Amino acid sequence: MIRLDGISKSYGDVTALHSIDLTIKDGEFIAILGPSGCGKTTLLKLLAGFMKPTSGTITINDTVVASAEAVLPPEKRNIGMVFQSFALWPHMTVYEHVQFPLMHHSFAPKADKEQREERVKNVLRMVGLESLAQRYPHELSGGQKQRVSLARAIAPEPGLLLMDEPLSALDAELRMEMRKEIQHIHRHTNASIVYVTHDQSEAFAMADRIVVMNHGKIEQIDRPEMIFTRPETEFVATFVGKCNLIQGKWEEKMFIPKPFPNEKWPDIGVSINLKKKGLYPVRPDQWALSKAKEGSSHGVVKFVQYQGKEMYYIVQVGEEEWTVHELIQHTSRFQVGDPVNLVLQNTVIKKEAVLV
Ligand code: ATP
**Domains of the chain by residue range:** 2-229, 242-351
Cα 43 to middle of ligand 1, angstroms? 10
Under a CB-based contact definition with an 8 Å cutoff, are residues 42 and 212 in contact?
Answer: no
At 342, is the pLDDT very low, low, confident or very high (cuts 50, 70, 90)?
A: very high
The arithmetic mean of pLDDT across residues 26-44, rounded, is 95
What Cα–Cα distance (Å) separates residue 78 from each residue in 85, 106, 112, 161, 180? 22, 8, 20, 9, 24
Cα 169 to middle of ligand 1, angstroms? 19
- Tell me the β-bridge partners of 218: 213
In this predicted structure, which of 50-64, 96-110, 200-214, 243-257 has the lowest mean pLDDT?
Answer: 96-110
- What are the φ/ψ torsions at residue 6 (nearest 5 degrees)? 55, 40
Q: Does 111 score more than 90 pLDDT?
A: no
Ligand 1 atom, smallest distance to 38 CA:
6
The arithmetic mean of pLDDT across residues 199-204, rounded, is 92
Residue 44's pLDDT is: 94
Nearest CA, atom 14, ligand 1: 39
Cα 41 to middle of ligand 1, angstroms? 7
Q: Does 348 score more than 60 pLDDT?
A: no
Q: Does 356 score more than 70 pLDDT?
A: no
Beta-sheet strand order (sheet of 310-317): 287-291, 339-344, 299-307, 310-317, 320-327
- The enclosing H or E element of 15 equals strand 14-24
* pLDDT, tens digit, 9 for 90 and up, residues 4-22: 999 999 999 999 999 999 9
Q: Residue 162: which of 239, 232, 37, 58 has the closest Cα?
A: 58
At 248, is the pLDDT very low, low, confident or very high (cuts 50, 70, 90)?
A: very high
Ligand 1 pocket test, candidate residues 38, 164, 195, most atoms within 8 A of CB:
38
Residue 168's pLDDT is: 83
Nearest CA, atom 29, ligand 1: 11
* 3-class DSSP string for 189-214: CCCEEEEEECCHHHHHHHCCEEEEEE
Q: What's 233's DSSP letter? A: S
In this predicted structure, which of 183-192, 278-287, 343-352 has the lowest mean pLDDT?
Answer: 343-352
Kindly compute the dihedral angle of the four CA atoms of residues 274, 275, 277, 283, in this order, to the nearest 10 degrees.
50
At 333, is the pLDDT very low, low, confident or very high (cuts 50, 70, 90)?
A: confident
Ligand 1 atom, smallest distance to 196 CA:
7
User: Ligand 1: residues whose CB is within 6 Å?
Assistant: 11, 14, 16, 34, 36-42, 198
Kindly compute the dihedral angle of the four CA atoms of residues 95, 96, 102, 106, in this order, to the nearest 10 degrees.
-160
Cα separation of 343 and 299, whole Å? 12
Q: Does 107 score more than 80 pLDDT?
A: no
Q: Does 45 score more than 50 pLDDT?
A: yes
The arithmetic mean of pLDDT across residues 328-354, rounded, is 71
∠ CA 115-120-121, rounded to 5°: 95
* CATH number at 242-351: 2.40.50.140
Nearest CA, atom 10, ligand 1: 41
CATH 2.120.10.80: does it fit domain 2-229? no
Q: Does 351 score more than 60 pLDDT?
A: no
Residue 354's pLDDT is: 36
- The enclosing H or E element of 102 equals helix 94-104
Ligand 1 atom, smallest distance to 12 CA:
29
- What are the φ/ψ torsions at residue 89 (nearest 5 degrees)? -95, 125
Q: How many other CB atoms are found less than 10 A from the CB of residue 327?
A: 11
Nearest CA, atom 3, ligand 1: 36
Cα separation of 275 and 282, whole Å? 13
Cα 207 to middle of ligand 1, angstroms? 23
Tell me what the pLDDT averaged over the chain comes to. 89
* pLDDT, tens digit, 9 for 90 and up, residues 274-319: 999 999 999 998 898 988 888 888 899 999 998 888 899 999 999 9
